[in-house]
Amino acid sequence: MDAYGHVNNVQFLRLLEDARVVGFEDWFGQDRSLLDEGVLVARHEIEYLAPLDFRHAPVRVWMWTMRLTAASFDVGYEIADPDGTGRYARAETTLVLYDFATAGPRRMTPDLKASLERYAGDPVRFRWRR
């Protein structure tokens, strides 16, 4: 919480991280190869739509995949009230598939690409994108 009683902007990135953990578990079940073989955050973009006042009621994070490349993919998000009425932020994360042995990117397998495509959605519609 910040000095204004709002959820701090840094906490929004933690919400996105938590959503990825839960989302990937939902998408891939017990198959942890995406995480075990290595995936790194390369980029975040977030647009705050409204202050999120501190409260005990949950928010919902909608999550989907977008651009897929040979060694990376983008995830889109929207943070909102569970019923969709209050919208607080929209965001995008670029994740790079990473090979720990070579300390460099690794190529996306056809199976992973097919799995990620099942959750494909539209690009995030940022109001203030340059």
CATH number reported for the structural domain that contains residue 81 in this entry: 3.10.129.10
- Is 67 inside any structural domain? yes
- Is 123 inside any structural domain? no
Alpha helices in the chain (DSSP H): 9-28, 33-36, 110-117
Centre a 10 Å sphere on the Cβ of residue 7 and count the other Cβ atoms it contains: 20
Domain count of the chain?
1
- Is 88 inside any structural domain? yes
- Is 125 inside any structural domain? no
- Is 122 inside any structural domain? no
- Is 2 inside any structural domain? no
Q: How far is 47 from 27, CA to CA, in rounded Å?
A: 25
- Is 124 inside any structural domain? no
pLDDT for the residue 12: 92
- Is 105 inside any structural domain? yes
The whole model's pTM is what? 0.89
Q: What is the mean pLDDT of the chain?
A: 90
Q: Quick check: 1 pLDDT over 70?
A: no
Q: Quick check: 49 pLDDT over 90?
A: yes
Provide the residue range defining the domain that includes 105.
9-117
Q: Quick check: 119 pLDDT over 80?
A: yes
The torsion of the CA quartet 45, 51, 52, 55, rounded to 10 degrees, works out to 160
* Percent of residues in the chain assigned helix, strand, coil, to nearest 5: 25, 35, 40
